[in-house]
Amino acid sequence: MAFSEFRRLDEKSLADYIKSVPSLSSKLFGNGSLDDELTIKEVGDGNLNFVYIVLSSRGGSAVIKQALPYIRSIGESWPITKERAYFESTALKEHRRWSPNHAPEVYHFDRTMSLIGMRYLEPPHIVLRKGLIAGLEYPLLAEHISDYMAKTLFHTSLLYHSTLEHKRAVAEFCGNAELCRHTLQVVFSDPFKVSQYNHWTSPYLDQDAEAIRNDNALKLEVAELKSKFSERAQALIHADLHTGSVMVTQESTQVIDHEFAFYGPMGFDIGAFLGNLILAYFSQEGHANDQNDRKKYKEWILRTIEDTWNFFHKKFIALWDEHKDGSGEAYLPAIYNNAELRHLAQQKFIQELFHDTLGFGAAKMIRRIVGVAHVEDFESISDASKRAYCERRALGLAKVLLKERRKFQAISQVVSAIQQSAKESNMLRRVNSGRSWVLPVIEGAARSGWAVGLKVWLFLGAAVRWGNGSIWQ
Amino acid sequence: MAFSEFRRLDEKSLADYIKSVPSLSSKLFGNGSLDDELTIKEVGDGNLNFVYIVLSSRGGSAVIKQALPYIRSIGESWPITKERAYFESTALKEHRRWSPNHAPEVYHFDRTMSLIGMRYLEPPHIVLRKGLIAGLEYPLLAEHISDYMAKTLFHTSLLYHSTLEHKRAVAEFCGNAELCRHTLQVVFSDPFKVSQYNHWTSPYLDQDAEAIRNDNALKLEVAELKSKFSERAQALIHADLHTGSVMVTQESTQVIDHEFAFYGPMGFDIGAFLGNLILAYFSQEGHANDQNDRKKYKEWILRTIEDTWNFFHKKFIALWDEHKDGSGEAYLPAIYNNAELRHLAQQKFIQELFHDTLGFGAAKMIRRIVGVAHVEDFESISDASKRAYCERRALGLAKVLLKERRKFQAISQVVSAIQQSAKESNMLRRVNSGRSWVLPVIEGAARSGWAVGLKVWLFLGAAVRWGNGSIWQ
């Protein structure tokens, strides 16, 4: 039952398809009869694809994902190439090559059908975002996701690649241009202009959305990030690494949904993950109730943000040290020929990556509040005024992170900023139900440059080391 | 006489080849008999290729360029793909599309033979570098080359391209990876390490070459530029735009030799051109004699450096304004929706491009003095001590430009720095034949940061506006 041209499968035709494909039928039926019963359930809850869980009566399982030539959540009015399935399977396999514990096995890929067969991430795996909404802690999350990010980003960059293999890989993933264009539109364009697709918690955030569209300093920084996203082929990035692209249990962390993958800036992946954790943090107040004030959970989220970056940093540098005499052509050992110089080069590299991470993370936060696709963290807060309150806090912080990212020197300062802005606004909320004064002050600092910024930072108690005119600045 | 596989042509077989190719024979013979005599002369004086001038007795002409699978000036021990001819002809045609007055017409391309037939740039066209050595002024040079750079770089960037066409073009030129790797080696690697290919005016510059290999701050900045060159697909750049890749007369400026072309950072082209003009400037003392002290000529070079950047800046921004509502996807008019914001975006863009230009230009200067391929500007100074004196001045300035490029705000400051360092060293030379003290002071400033830097700049009288912590920094 090979198809010579694309057709959308349903539960019935999928069963027939599976039986005709040895790499799938062997996973489901072993060496047994193909007449055993299959249970097939469509579970796709994302924006883009149809996803089926397939179970056989003898305990075999698989997930089948089929891409359609339009965005599922919007319909045929927003076409998007189904060729993305090719890039998804290629990227997933490449990422699994480097981080086999944190990306599921691909059993089968059919380019004609835009169909991927892969490991079924069995219960109790759930989407991380849903765990964050439910207030569940994942003690190994930071350890695992930092492993995934460090290994996939390092090994697909010029720190590991030769120039020739890098250019070859970059060229291939240029083919995923339609998906890049989609990201450019929804992350870097639509939120900053009037667009039919934008929406927000109205009327509460009407002025906030308008303020974003009128914020020149913000739009200038967004242009810089957009150009980095469009032009800088630093590593094979997942390019959609939010908390909905990660499946978790207490022991397992699995990254899925690689259809946006291409050679882009590393900070886009790290920023997507951290930015979505920050959104989760700001949404917690909307999920707090008399049984659980979520205070301890918020602390766990902050610890996970801090650990994720710090573990990533450590693992990435360890890989760099390990491979310093390897095939990577970015820093030749004959030039970067002593430990001090290599350390300086690493510091400079990580500093830029950190600022990229904050910028991209902030852009991803903004787009989830005033752009087309929102996050369940906020959407599941049914009281609109409470939701808007949470979203406004997140938006305020995101604007500061984006515009002032170069002033942050360590992730602990970011955590302090999150914490402090939430604390002050809570304090204020107790005496006054109006808007907090803290974020306007930070935003004011962002506008008026370092002098006011310094005062705000001293006020926030963050250990800011100011740029000293050295080459690190 | 079509060839099914590559073979190196000589004068005899080239004549037969031309007669078998209508697009070439029509240029040389018109509608006349193919028995007319052809005059064929091999003139390739570059590093890479064989180049023939072909003239017919009835006044037809062409240049035939054939790429060989190794570097001509080094031999078969340094292989380099002949596929570069494909990228040369593709890039030349694309650049001529945007700047038809400053790139010669391609008559014919044969991929099997790695052979390009193109317009013969008839006398009095000479290679610009030779004109600079001879002390000839080209009053239209800055106007022409800025036209070429502004038009080719603008129209092949995301300021003009859609995302889809940009990715498609980037992918194609990823195929020219071997030539990129060559540039990476000779510009960004070899000069900063011990390499069998490096040479310099020894023993005079032995210590200078060693100092470069031991300059950590320099090597850190070089790493950043190298990563931009490797990863940032900003526009279709010529990628070898030195003064040997430009043919000139008083009225005409023609850019040739596009075999290194790929999608890279714009500043690499502008920097290559300006860096080679600065080399020409510093070489003038070696060409001065009793008849001509070259003083006026040096002023013309400085004026050309300043005009080239300023004209480029003006033309590039004019193109941006003209196409602000066009198909380019970098700055959507709905976001950058007022003149003030567009102006700020342009300022930010140009500032980064200016600093890239200085960094890449300086790297190109350094490699021409201590790397594998030197420039005739210096090589033609037969007195080695005089040559070394000129080269050391250029090297000192290049190190400052590379390490301190972000402190320069306008091309006039660069010109002041060139002028002042030359003047001081001349002054000093009159009282002392030893090393000048000016460059060590500037280099010291580069090492010790802004405080000393400020004094040096005040001393130099350059109107330096210091970074003020604003978003422009």
Distances (CA, A) of A294 to A134, A139, A284, A299, B129: 10, 16, 6, 9, 71
Query: B380-403, pLDDT tens digit by residue?
Result: 999 999 999 999 999 999 999 999
Domain shared by A203 and A74, yes or no: no
The pairing of strands B235-237 and B106-110 is unpaired
- Phi/psi for B60 (5° steps) reads -75, 160
For residues B116 and B64, is the Cβ–Cβ distance under 8 A? Answer: yes
CATH number for the domain spanning A63: value is: 3.30.200.20
Task: Please give the helix or strand (H or E) that residue B117 lies within, else none.
Answer: strand B115-118
Query: A429-446, pLDDT tens digit by residue?
Result: 544 443 433 344 444 444
Domain shared by B107 and B136, yes or no: no
Q: Searching chain A, which residue's CA lies closest to the CA of residue B403?
A: A471
pLDDT at A456: 40
Position B447 in a domain: no
pLDDT at A464: 30
Coil, helix or strand at residue B284: helix
Q: In one letter, which amino acid is A154? A: F
* Proportion of chain A in helix, strand, coil states, percent, rounded to 5: 55, 10, 35
Taking contacts as CB-CB distances below 8 angstroms, the residues of chain B near A171 are: 170-172, 174-175
CA distance A280 to A327: 40
Coil, helix or strand at residue B316: helix
Q: Searching chain B, which residue's CA lies closest to the CA of residue A224?
A: B349
pLDDT higher than threshold 60 for residue B447: no
pLDDT at B79: 86
Domain shared by B109 and B139, yes or no: no
Domain shared by B213 and B68, yes or no: no
Q: In one letter, which amino acid is B215? A: D
pLDDT at B464: 30
**Structural tokens at position A424:** 């002050």
Work out how many domains chain A is built from and give that number: 2
B11 DSSP assignment: H
Average pLDDT in the B19-43 region? 89
Domain shared by A102 and A160, yes or no: no
- If one counts every other C-beta atom within 10 angstroms of the C-beta of residue A260, the result is 24
pLDDT at B450: 37
Domain shared by B50 and B162, yes or no: no
Secondary structure (DSSP) of A295-336 = HHHHHHHHHHHHHHHHHHHHHHHHHHHHTTTSS--SS-TTTS
pLDDT at A426: 58
pLDDT at A45: 72
> Locate tokens 């033979």: which residue?
B113
Please tell me which residue, B3 or B156, carries the higher pLDDT value: B156
Position A452 in a domain: no
Position B134 in a domain: yes
ipTM: 0.90
Cβ contact, residue pair B231, A230, below 8 Å: no
Among residues A93, A119, A145, the one where a domain terminates is A119
pLDDT higher than threshold 80 for residue B331: yes
Position B442 in a domain: no
pLDDT at A459: 37
Its pTM stands at: 0.91
The minimal CB distance from B230 to the residues A158, A174, A177 is found for A158
A53 forms bridges with which residues in the sheet?
A41, A63
Domain shared by A60 and A166, yes or no: no
pLDDT higher than threshold 70 for residue B453: no
The minimal CB distance from A231 to the residues B219, B234, B348 is found for B234
Q: Searching chain B, which residue's CA lies closest to the CA of residue A220?
A: B345
Q: What is the dihedral of CA A351, A353, A355, A361, to 10 degrees?
A: -150
Taking contacts as CB-CB distances below 8 angstroms, the residues of chain A near B402 are: none
For residues B259 and A381, is the Cβ–Cβ distance under 8 A? Answer: no
Position B460 in a domain: no
CATH number for the domain spanning A283: value is: 3.90.1200.10
Q: Average pLDDT of chain B?
A: 90
> Locate tokens 């590559």: which residue?
B6
Q: In one letter, which amino acid is A305? A: I
Domain shared by B152 and B110, yes or no: no
Cβ contact, residue pair A231, B230, below 8 Å: no
pLDDT at A422: 78
Query: Which of B83, B159, B163, B404 to mutate: most A Cβ within 10 Å?
Result: B163
User: Is the CA virtual torsion A124, A126, A128, A132 positive or negative?
Assistant: negative
Q: Searching chain B, which residue's CA lies closest to the CA of residue A213?
A: B335
Taking contacts as CB-CB distances below 8 angstroms, the residues of chain B near A405 are: none
Among residues A78, A100, A119, the one where a domain terminates is A119
For residue A449, give how far its alpha carbon lies from the nearest alpha carbon of chain B (Å).
6
Among residues B119, B152, B173, the one where a domain terminates is B119
pLDDT at B442: 46
Query: Which of A81, A166, A198, A230 to mutate: most B Cβ within 10 Å?
Result: A230
Domain shared by A73 and A139, yes or no: no
Count of CB pairs separated by less than 8 Å, A with B: 147
Domain shared by B237 and B201, yes or no: yes
The minimal CB distance from B184 to the residues A163, A170, A226 is found for A163
Average pLDDT in the B400-423 region? 94
Cis peptide before B203 (omega within 30 of 0): yes
- Domain housing B402: 126-428
pLDDT at A1: 58
pLDDT at A125: 98
For residue A440, give how far its alpha carbon lies from the nearest alpha carbon of chain B (Å).
19
pLDDT at A449: 43
- What residues in chain A have per-residue pLDDT under 50? 428, 430-473
Taking contacts as CB-CB distances below 8 angstroms, the residues of chain B near A336 are: 219, 223
Could you tell me the pLDDT band of residue B45, with boundaries at 50, 70 and 90?
Answer: confident
CA distance A332 to B366: 18
Position B451 in a domain: no
pLDDT at A32: 77
CA distance A428 to A40: 52
Cβ contact, residue pair B230, A330, below 8 Å: yes
Q: Give the CA diameter of chain A.
A: 75
For residue A119, give how far its alpha carbon lies from the nearest alpha carbon of chain B (Å).
32
Task: Please give the helix or strand (H or E) that residue A132 lies within, else none.
Answer: helix A128-134
Cβ contact, residue pair B341, A216, below 8 Å: yes
Position B434 in a domain: no
pLDDT at A397: 97
Q: Searching chain B, which residue's CA lies closest to the CA of residue A467?
A: B469
Query: A57-79, pLDDT tens digit by residue?
Result: 989 999 999 998 888 777 888 88
Coil, helix or strand at residue A2: coil
Position A406 in a domain: yes
Taking contacts as CB-CB distances below 8 angstroms, the residues of chain B near A216 are: 340-341, 344
For residue A183, give how far its alpha carbon lies from the nearest alpha carbon of chain B (Å).
11
